[in-house]
């Protein structure tokens, strides 16, 4: 059932049968963008950040953070919310002089954890991506149309659950959709 | 046709599980494993439906998806579903069904009298008849009579889902060929196999086989499939369409077999299947034969008789006659005879038949009539007697008693998916059927769908019984299309099979011609003297089988009909009593009516409050794009029509954005945050579109420009505090920005902290009053809303987007999208001077210089003042040309102004710029009224209040 104080407003979790989805309020989100059309910029950004940036469709984990590829020259970093501001401040300093920027996106986007035995079935109701275990392997991520809206969806390595990043203004819709579509 | 009180042994039903059901109010009983059709037949229900046009009594013809007759209205109330084929409805306890298209019932239907007027109701009679004196005279009556069954009148409480699935090999059809193909494919352990079948249990025609070796093979094959971890079997699933790249649409009936008791679980699942390789093993459908009165109840397809006998254990007749033009019906007859059923005779159109079949028939005591046609049938509630005539024997006929006629006119491979995949068909004369004639990459057709019949058919082509009235030879049983209708179409020069289909309705409606199309082609070929191959086929358009609206919609109904977006402070708006309206995907407060107020009154009150004191609007949807980079200023100067190259840090400037055709696509304020960092405000609905517009130009035209764009719209909650007391109210909150009038002027921007929150404040006004557009991190939006409401107290009212529209219309401010259309150029908005002044190039400039852009009669933005102050109008009202014959513009915005005491109007009017002061005629709701073209901005034309 959707836990909400007001229908369609603060739907923070859905649990039905062998599927659940819940906002991960403990995660902060940061977008990395760089002028990737200039050769060497992406590598320079990675070097300044002190961590390799994942290639297309991949996730890179480490040091309490996960970096998701999200578009050419763009990545989304998911990290504990209490270190988000410091991380941005520190890393923005490291990137000074490079055609790159860091933008907080925790206010505009929400991280949602999806899991349960039926999770792939529910995912397959929302998106045309092939979610078979041998096709959508651990460490893979996509930006895709999901339940009619654009989301970033990833399957981090070593995690039981999937991580989805959705525009916060669409979160109520998404949870209501998951509530309806997860019926078995 | 007779009832079957005791089923034959070896039937695939469970006699230990009786199921009660109702048909037309009669309480009947069947067993688990029955279909509704088999249960009706078991109870001796010979007439189960009425035909569409003539209301002729109809019995069950087939046993599966080919059934054209047995359409029933299933269940009642919210669960009702029309046009369900009884052959495809699994029986469940408590099932309730009625016949359709009949009153008071299918056994005795008053409309059956229409049959007496058949000669006056040929194909197309309605096209010819209802034209005079006017279609509209007839329309009401025709629409009441048209249609089959009744759609539910209340919302469907059942749930439907949609799901995608990927497979390396998809096999459609789980008969013997399909199962074999799936097992072959499954040998590759890395391949994912999906086997899809539309029946309750897999096995196809094997389910109707009386032979123990067939049943043993099927049991073994099912066990093999179950042992393959890489095979997924979807039962009760019909593949309805094949699209580009081997994408299939399929409908799974999840809980139909449970009836309303299945509520709570999805009733149907709509599958979108992505197939690497496609194997089509959909089998073949037996065809009826055309002969006089071939539509009488008790006349069935031989394959259906086989299925009802061996699968469902029914004894449908004691004097069964088979009528055929091929060998398969002989084998069925012999199988029935071997079970001890009363097979009286086989009537065959062919002069000669395989000697072995003849001998076996003779041994079974079956009379054989070769070279003989059935030329009539008799029997009031079911067939009782046949009249036979030797094809070479002149006109003499003989009578043959019969209580069940099993006919077979050959077989039609099920090729719709192959055809939809792009395959072409060819006519195989030896089997009188259309078979796949080309090969397609990654598509394979196997088994009977490919014309691979395991035993020879030796079909003799037969489309029409000669020397017999064609108007009594039914081709399409559902729509009452007879051979004479097709002949009439041919006489009237309809030669294309597509046209003939529409003219005669042959092959339309629920069954989509599964039993009638090929026979119709045959009759048309005869009538036009062409070969079948030259006649061609109608297109095999999806869906192959009717799909419910619920399945198409899935969960996208009601509130989930389309995605919606909520404002950060949505709960606060709900608590404040907001009435929401959809603006794009956003749910925005239109206004906040108080008890006893309607929306109009609330908007008027809110507007007065903003002008008198202050109002608070949730403006978070305002587009906010951050543009950064060394080339950001240069890029933006190319994007905006007006010059933004000189914008200094902390300054803001209003601007227009054009597309390359010179059309205004958005407007808003650009703020310079730093020399290489800008904040672009767009219209609420324009943020994503303008973001894409910018990215398109950056990625495709100017990839060398070092610019990064971040759509930060959702990152910030923006509240508009507007009205003469807004500064005072804002100053009641802790803020480190100097908000004083002299320190913070109109069109200036500051950032700092407000109530301890990081904030951005822009002094801009869309109401005409002094305004502050305050942005804080979105998650803090509700907090700031509450703080401002608290701080404002009685001086402040929340106001909605409709109120804002009133206020800006009073002020004459443009709303792109409402006051512009797909032709509006900047010169139509009075921006011709800005175009001339700008030296640098910008998107759309070249188009502005085209001749069309210089036309003095272009629709131009203007104020419209109604001469009668008490008059009103609405957006969309026409402004008439001088001769009042054509439209010379239209009203784009119109609101009653509480401050001016009249309706304020904006519009787009031909040549408005040079016609200021002219009187025009506004047409609305059948009335005209006089108005004057004036400058936009009836309220505070000097613009002093916004500086307050």
pLDDT digits (tens, 9 = 90+) for B501-549: 999 999 988 888 999 999 999 999 999 999 998 998 888 899 999 999 9
Among the partner residues A6, A149, A168, nearest to B714 by beta-carbon distance: A168
User: Does residue B301 carry a pLDDT above 60?
Assistant: yes
SS3 letters across B206-266:
HHHCCCHHHHHHHHHHHHHHHHCCCEEEECCEEEEEEEHHHEEEEEEECCHHHHHHHCCCE
User: Does residue A7 carry a pLDDT above 70?
Assistant: no
**CB-based contact, A6 to chain B, within 8 Å:** yes
Rounded Cα distance, B155 and B524, in Å: 44
- Interchain CB distance below 8 Å, B715 and A104: yes
Contacts of A183 in chain B (CB under 8 A): 159, 161, 264-266
Q: What's the pLDDT at A8?
A: 39
* Strand stretches in B6-63, DSSP E: 14-23, 26-32, 49-50, 57-58
User: Does residue B633 carry a pLDDT above 60?
Assistant: yes
Q: What's the pLDDT at B947?
A: 85
pLDDT grade for B120, boundaries at 50, 70 and 90: confident
User: Does residue A64 carry a pLDDT above 90?
Assistant: no
The string over B349-359, giving b where at least 16 C-beta atoms fall within 10 Å of a residue's C-beta and e elsewhere, is bbeebeeebbe
pTM (predicted TM-score): 0.93
Q: What's the pLDDT at B125?
A: 84
- Interchain CB distance below 8 Å, B715 and A181: no
**CB-based contact, A30 to chain B, within 8 Å:** no
pLDDT grade for B123, boundaries at 50, 70 and 90: confident
Rounded Cα distance, B610 and B58, in Å: 72
* A175 class by beta-carbon count within 10 Å (0-12 exposed, 13-18 middle, 19+ buried): buried
**CB-based contact, A39 to chain B, within 8 Å:** no
pLDDT digits (tens, 9 = 90+) for A122-145: 999 999 999 999 999 999 999 999
Average pLDDT of A165-175? 96
- Best to test chain A binding among B269, B565, B586 (most A CBs inside 10 Å): B565
- Interchain CB distance below 8 Å, A181 and B554: yes
- Do the beta carbons of residue B763 and residue B749 sit within 8 Å? yes
Average pLDDT of B639-658? 95
Average pLDDT of B823-836? 95
* Strand stretches in B317-410, DSSP E: 320-324, 343-348, 367-370, 372-378, 385-390, 397-401, 404-408
Find, among B435, B460, B300, the residue nearest to B372 by Cα: B460
What distance in Å separates residue B937's CA from the closest CA in chain A?
Answer: 35
What distance in Å separates residue B32's CA from the closest CA in chain A?
Answer: 24
pLDDT grade for B6, boundaries at 50, 70 and 90: confident
Among the partner residues A109, A125, A129, nearest to B162 by beta-carbon distance: A125
Mean pLDDT rounded to a whole number for chain B: 95
User: Does residue B682 carry a pLDDT above 70?
Assistant: yes
Q: What's the pLDDT at A107?
A: 96
Contacts of A166 in chain B (CB under 8 A): none
Q: What's the pLDDT at B538?
A: 81
pLDDT grade for B2, boundaries at 50, 70 and 90: confident
- Cis check: omega of the bond before B428, within 30 degrees of 0: no
User: Does residue A150 carry a pLDDT above 90?
Assistant: yes
Contacts of A10 in chain B (CB under 8 A): 571
- Report the chain B residue with the minimal C-alpha distance to residue A127: B164
What distance in Å separates residue B594's CA from the closest CA in chain A?
Answer: 21
The string over B755-793, giving b where at least 16 C-beta atoms fall within 10 Å of a residue's C-beta and e elsewhere, is eebebbbbbbbbbbbbbbbbbbbbbbbbbbbebbbebbe
What distance in Å separates residue B159's CA from the closest CA in chain A?
Answer: 8
Average pLDDT of B755-769? 96
Q: What's the pLDDT at A118?
A: 96
CA B184 to chain centre: 37
User: Does residue A11 carry a pLDDT above 50?
Assistant: no
Query: How much of chain B, in percent, has pLDDT values that exceed 90?
Result: 89
Q: What's the pLDDT at A2?
A: 31
pLDDT grade for B131, boundaries at 50, 70 and 90: confident
pLDDT grade for B128, boundaries at 50, 70 and 90: confident
pLDDT digits (tens, 9 = 90+) for B324-343: 999 999 999 999 999 999 99
Q: What angle do CA B889, B892, B893 make, to 5 degrees?
A: 145
- Report the chain A residue with the minimal C-alpha distance to residue B265: A184
**What totals of helices (H) and strands (E) does chain A contain, helices first?**
4, 11
- Report the chain A residue with the minimal C-alpha distance to residue B586: A169
- Interchain CB distance below 8 Å, A101 and B560: no
Q: Output B190-194 pairs: Cβ under 8 A, ≥24 positions apart.
A: B190/B230, B191/B230, B192/A132, B192/B166, B192/B167, B192/B168, B192/B230, B192/B232, B193/B167, B193/B168, B193/B169, B193/B228, B193/B230, B193/B231, B193/B232, B194/B165, B194/B167, B194/B169, B194/B170, B194/B231, B194/B232, B194/B234, B194/B273, B194/B275
Average pLDDT of A51-76? 95
Q: What's the pLDDT at A5?
A: 32
In which element (H, E) is residue B682 found? strand B677-682
Structure tokens at B580: 């929401």
- Do the beta carbons of residue B4 and residue B307 sit within 8 Å? no
Q: Measured between alpha carbons, how far is residue A139 from residues A159, B301, B457, B794 in Å?
A: 10, 57, 57, 56
- Interchain CB distance below 8 Å, A101 and B710: yes
Average pLDDT of B874-882? 95
Q: What angle do CA B256, B257, B260 make, to 5 degrees?
A: 60
Write out the DSSP string of B762-806: E---SSSS-EEEEEEEGGGHHHHHHHHHHHHGGGEEE--HHHHHH
* Strand stretches in B124-236, DSSP E: 159-172, 193-196, 231-234
B640 versus A7: which is more confidently predicted? B640
Q: What's the pLDDT at A4?
A: 32
- Interchain CB distance below 8 Å, B714 and A9: no
Find, among B499, B449, B510, the residue nearest to B476 by Cα: B510
pLDDT grade for A89, boundaries at 50, 70 and 90: very high
Average pLDDT of B798-820? 97
Average pLDDT of B790-816? 98
pLDDT digits (tens, 9 = 90+) for B201-222: 999 999 999 999 999 999 999 9
pLDDT digits (tens, 9 = 90+) for B563-622: 999 999 999 999 999 999 999 999 999 999 999 999 999 999 999 999 999 999 999 999
Q: What's the pLDDT at A3?
A: 32
């Amino acid at each position: 059932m959707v836990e909400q104080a007001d229908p369609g407003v603060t739907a923070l979790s859905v649990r039905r049968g062998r599927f659940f989805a819940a906002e991960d309020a403990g995660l902060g989100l940061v977008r990395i963008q760089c002028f990737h059309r200039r050769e060497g910029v992406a590598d320079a950004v990675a070097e300044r950040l002190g961590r390799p940036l994942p290639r297309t469709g991949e996730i890179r984990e480490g040091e309490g953070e996960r970096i998701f590829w999200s578009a050419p020259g763009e990545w989304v970093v998911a990290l504990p919310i209490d270190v988000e501001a410091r991380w941005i401040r520190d890393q923005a300093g490291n990137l000074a002089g490079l055609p790159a920027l860091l933008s907080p996106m925790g206010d505009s986007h929400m991280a949602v954890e999806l899991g349960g035995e039926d999770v792939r079935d529910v995912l397959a109701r929302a998106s045309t991506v092939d979610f078979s275990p041998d096709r959508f392997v651990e460490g893979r991520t996509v930006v895709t149309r999901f339940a009619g809206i654009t989301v970033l969806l990833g399957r981090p390595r070593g995690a039981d659950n999937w991580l989805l990043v959705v525009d916060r203004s669409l979160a109520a819709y998404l949870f209501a959709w998951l509530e309806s579509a997860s019926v078995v | 046709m007779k009832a079957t009180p005791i089923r034959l042994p070896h039937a695939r039903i469970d006699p230990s599980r009786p199921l009660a059901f109702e048909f037309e109010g009669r309480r009947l009983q069947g067993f688990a494993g029955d279909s509704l059709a088999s249960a009706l037949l078991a109870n001796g229900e010979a007439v189960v439906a009425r035909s569409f046009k003539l209301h002729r009594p109809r019995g069950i013809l087939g046993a599966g998806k080919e059934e054209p007759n047995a359409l029933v209205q299933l269940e009642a109330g919210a669960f009702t579903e029309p046009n369900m084929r009884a052959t495809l409805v699994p029986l469940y306890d408590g099932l309730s069904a009625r016949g359709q298209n009949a009153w008071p019932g299918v056994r005795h239907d008053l409309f059956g009298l229409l049959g007496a007027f058949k000669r006056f109701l040929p194909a197309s009679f309605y096209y010819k008849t209802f034209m005079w004196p006017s279609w509209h005279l007839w329309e009401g009556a025709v629409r009441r009579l048209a249609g089959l069954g009744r759609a539910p009148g209340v919302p469907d409480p059942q749930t439907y889902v949609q799901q995608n699935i990927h497979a390396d090999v998809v096999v459609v059809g789980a008969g013997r060929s399909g199962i074999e193909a799936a097992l072959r494919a499954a040998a590759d352990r890395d391949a994912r196999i999906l086997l899809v079948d539309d029946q309750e249990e897999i096995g196809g025609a094997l389910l109707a086989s009386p032979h123990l070796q067939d049943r043993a093979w099927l049991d073994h094959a099912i066990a093999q499939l179950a042992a393959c971890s890489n095979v997924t079997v979807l039962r009760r699933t019909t593949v309805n369409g094949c699209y580009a790249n081997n994408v299939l649409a399929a409908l799974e009936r999840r809980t139909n077999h449970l009836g309303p008791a299945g509520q709570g679980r999805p009733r149907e699942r709509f599958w979108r299947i992505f197939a690497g390789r496609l194997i089509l093993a959909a089998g073949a459908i037996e065809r009826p034969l055309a002969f006089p009165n071939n539509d009488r109840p008790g006349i069935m397809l031989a394959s259906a008789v086989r299925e009802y006998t061996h699968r469902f254990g029914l004894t449908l007749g004691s004097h069964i006659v088979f009528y055929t033009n091929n060998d398969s019906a002989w084998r069925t007859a012999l199988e029935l005879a071997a079970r001890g059923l009363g097979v009286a005779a086989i009537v065959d159109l062919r002069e000669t038949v395989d000697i072995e079949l003849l001998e076996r028939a003779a041994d079974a005591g079956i009379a054989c009539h070769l070279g003989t046609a059935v030329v009539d049938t008799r029997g009031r509630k079911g067939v009782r007697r046949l009249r036979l005539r030797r094809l070479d024997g002149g006109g003499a006929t003989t009578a043959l008693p019969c209580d069940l006629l099993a006919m077979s006119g050959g077989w039609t491979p099920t090729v719709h998916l192959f055809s939809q995949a792009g395959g072409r068909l060819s006519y195989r004369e030896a089997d009188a059927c259309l078979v796949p004639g080309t090969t397609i990459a990654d598509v394979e057709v196997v088994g009977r769908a490919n014309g691979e019949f395991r035993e020879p058919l030796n079909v003799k082509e037969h489309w029409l019984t000669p020397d017999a009235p064609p108007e009594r030879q039914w081709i399409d049983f559902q729509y009452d299309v007879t051979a004479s209708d097709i002949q009439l179409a041919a006489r009237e020069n309809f030669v294309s099979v597509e046209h003939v289909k529409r003219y005669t309705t042959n092959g339309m409606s629920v069954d989509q011609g599964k039993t009638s199309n090929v026979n119709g082609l045959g009759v048309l070929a005869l009538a036009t003297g062409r070969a079948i191959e030259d006649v061609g086929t109608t297109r095999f358009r999806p869906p192959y089988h009717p799909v419910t609206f619920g399945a198409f919609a899935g969960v996208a109904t009601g509130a989930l009909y389309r995605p919606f977006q909520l404002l950060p402070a949505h709960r606060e708006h709900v608590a404040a009593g907001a009435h929401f309206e959809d603006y794009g995907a956003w749910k925005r407060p239109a206004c906040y009516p108080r008890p006893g107020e309607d929306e109009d009154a609330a908007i008027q009150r809110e507007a007065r409050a903003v002008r008198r004191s202050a109002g608070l609007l949730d403006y978070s949807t305002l587009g906010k794009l951050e543009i950064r980079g060394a080339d950001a200023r240069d890029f933006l100067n190319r994007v905006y029509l007006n010059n933004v190259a000189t914008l200094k840090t902390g300054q803001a400037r209003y601007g227009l954005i054009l597309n390359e055709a010179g059309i205004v696509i958005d407007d808003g304020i650009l703020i310079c945050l730093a020399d290489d960092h800008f904040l672009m405000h767009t219209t609420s609905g324009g943020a994503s579109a303008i973001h894409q517009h910018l990215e398109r130009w950056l990625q495709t035209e100017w990839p060398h420009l070092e610019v990064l764009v971040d759509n930060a719209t959702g990152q910030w909650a923006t509240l508009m505090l507007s009205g003469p007391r807004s500064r005072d109210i804002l100053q009641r909150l802790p803020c480190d920005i100097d908000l004083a009038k002299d320190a913070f002027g109109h069109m200036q921007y500051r950032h700092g902290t407000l109530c301890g929150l990081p904030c951005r404040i822009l002094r801009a006004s869309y109401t005409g009053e002094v305004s502050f557009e305050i942005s804080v991190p979105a998650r803090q939006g509700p907090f700031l809303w509450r703080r401002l409401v608290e701080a404002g107290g009685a001086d402040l009212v929340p106001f909605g987007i409709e109120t804002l529209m009133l206020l800006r219309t009073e002020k004459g401010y443009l709303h792109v999208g409402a006051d512009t259309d797909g032709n509006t150029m900047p010169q139509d908005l009075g921006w011709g001077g800005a175009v001339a002044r700008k030296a640098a190039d910008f998107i759309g400039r070249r188009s502005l210089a085209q001749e069309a852009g210089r036309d003095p009669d272009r629709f131009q933005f203007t104020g419209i003042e109604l001469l009668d102050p008490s008059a009103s109008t609405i957006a969309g009202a026409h402004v008439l040309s001088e001769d009042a014959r054509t439209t010379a513009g239209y009203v784009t915005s119109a609101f009653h102004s509480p401050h001016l005491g009249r309706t304020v109007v904006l519009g787009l009017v031909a040549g408005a710029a040079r016609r200021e002061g002219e009187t025009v005629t506004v047409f609305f709701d059948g009335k005209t009224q006089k108005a004057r073209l004036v400058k936009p901005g009836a309220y505070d034309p000097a613009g002093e209040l916004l500086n307050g």
